[in-house]
Structure formats: structure tokens, C-alpha cells
Amino acid sequence: MKTSFSRWLGLISVLLGIIAWELIVRVTDLPRFILPSPVDVWVRFLKSLADGSLLLHTGYTLLEITLGLFFGVISATIIGYFLAKSRSLEKILSPYLVASQAVPIVAIAPLLILWFGSGITSKVLICSLIVFFPVLVNTVVGVRAVPPVLYDLMRSVRATRWQILFKLELPASLPVLLGGLRIGATLSVIGAIVGELVDAKNGLGFLLKVGDFQYDTAMVFVAVFMLITLALMLYGIVTLLEKRFLRWQQPAS
């Protein structure tokens, strides 16, 4: 009884929030281009859905995010692995890594767009960059935390390098790796938007800018909600991966 009620709590809270929003709009009577009502946003949502523009731009942003995540995660994992293994490589690369982290992505986004154009390449690059560091750090931490006794075990049965990688290092560091992916997934949404806000002809960031420019504030709201949806979706996927691959960590129910 209690559990079935608490399951609805989240939904109830969202509904209350929307009602409060509607009330504020009615009480304050602000112009629509300052604060549209939930109904306005819903109508705008349906309209942009009907003319196909919303799906097009969402798809575009999703593509940037996915590609950015893919390249960012792959490169960070590979480099992180070698970094974890070699102290001297760590010394050589660490000034660049620290510097790359010190520069805010917003500051170099215009530069990347200048170099790589306003198309998808620059956005994917920005996403990869923003994802890179947290995934790299988690990879290093994860690989270094593999228990030495398990290396002993693998070596005592004469495991090859690849076997050690796939049967020990990968599964042992998976919890931390997925933790990095979780952070990276959220960051890549930010990366894509930052890029699109600087200069783009497609994507939710572009939609945001156009909406803002034309005082179509309802459109801005629609775009923001789509972004939230994308971020939650990615987060959900990582959670599913954790459920699937980290069953051994969860307490027995």
C-alpha cells in the first residue's frame, strides 16, 4: 500500500509543479513572451511536432551527443588504460590534461567552430572533449584499483595479456567506468548545446536561439524540455547498463 503510493509521489510532485506554474502565470499576468503558460508550451510542442521541426532538431542533437559520447568515451578509455599502466606516460601527458581541463569548454567552442565549421564535426568534437576528462580519470582510477591478488591469480594460471584485460581488468573496473559514463552522458548534452548556441543551423540549441530571437518563448521551453528528456534518457540507459552488468554488487533482495 505504502510502496504503491510512494511510487506515485514523483508524478504527483511534477503535476503539482505544473499546476503551480499555471497559477503563477494567471496571478501575475505576465506577457507570454516572458512566461508562457503550460498550455501554451503544450500547444507549441504539438505544433512543432506536427511540422516535423522538433523531431528533426532533436534527432540532430541526439546524433551529435551520441557520436561525441562514443568518440570521447572510446579515446578516454584507451588513453586512460595506458595512463593507469605507465607512470611515465602519466607524467608526460598530465600537463596537457590538466590544461585541457582548466580551459572552460565555452571558451574554446567558438575556436573549434572556426576551425571545423558550423556543421556536425565541431559539435561532436566539443562533446568528445567535454566527456573525455571525467571518463579518463575514472578509467585510471578503475584500472589502478584492480586488486593485485587477482593479477597474481591470473598470472599463476598463465593468463595472456588479453585475457587479463578482458577477464580481469575490464570487469573489475566496470563499476568505476560506468560511473564515468554516467557523468559523461550528462556532460555531452551540455557540450552539444554549447556548440549549437555558438553557431549552428540545426539542433535543439539552434531552436533555442531562434525561439529566443523571435520572442517565441514557448518554443524555448519546448527545446529545454526536450534537452531534459534527452539527458534523462541517457542517464536511464547508463542505469540500465549498471543493472545488467553490476548485478554482483547489488545486495540480495
Partner 1 sequence: MTTKPILTVHDLSVVFPDSNGGLHVLENISFEVCPREFICFLGPSGSGKTTLLRVLAGLLAPTSGNVHFIRRQHPKIGMVFQQSNLMPWRTVMDNIKLPLELEGVSDAKARVKAQEMIELVGLDGFEDSWPRDLSGGMAQRVGIARALVHDPDLLLLDEPFGSLDAITRERMWTELSRIWQAKQKTVIMVTHSINESLFLADRVLVLTQRPGKVKFDLEVDIPRPRKDDIRYTPHFGKLARKLRETIE
Interface contacts to partner 1, rule CB under 8 A: 147, 149-150, 152-160, 163, 167-168, 171-172, 174, 246, 248-249, 252
Q: Which is nearer to partner 1, 1 or 149 (CB)?
A: 149
Smallest separation (angstroms) from partner 1 to the CB of 248: 5
Distance of CA 246 to the CA centre of its chain: 20
Smallest separation (angstroms) from partner 1 to the CB of 245: 8
Quote the longest CA-to-CA distance of the chain.
75
* Cα gap 93→8, rounded to integer Å: 49
Distance of CA 18 to the CA centre of its chain: 26
Smallest separation (angstroms) from partner 1 to the CB of 163: 5
Q: Which is nearer to partner 1, 43 or 168 (CB)?
A: 168
Q: Which is nearer to partner 1, 63 or 159 (CB)?
A: 159
Q: Which is nearer to partner 1, 110 or 175 (CB)?
A: 175
Q: Which is nearer to partner 1, 29 or 152 (CB)?
A: 152
* Cα gap 182→184, rounded to integer Å: 5
Q: Which is nearer to partner 1, 107 or 149 (CB)?
A: 149
What does each C-alpha distance from 47 to 21, 41, 50, 116, 120 come to in angstroms?
21, 10, 5, 33, 26
65 contacts 192 by C-beta, under 8 angstroms: yes
Of 211, 168, 204, 208, the C-alpha closest to 189 is: 204
Q: Which is nearer to partner 1, 2 or 244 (CB)?
A: 244
Of 73, 125, 133, the C-alpha closest to 100 is: 133
Smallest separation (angstroms) from partner 1 to the CB of 89: 23
* Cα gap 51→83, rounded to integer Å: 49
134 contacts 191 by C-beta, under 8 angstroms: no
Smallest separation (angstroms) from partner 1 to the CB of 152: 5
Smallest separation (angstroms) from partner 1 to the CB of 239: 18
Smallest separation (angstroms) from partner 1 to the CB of 153: 6
Which residues fall within 8 angstroms of residue 230, CB to CB, at 6 or more apart? Answer: 58, 61, 62, 65, 189, 204
* Cα gap 196→211, rounded to integer Å: 14
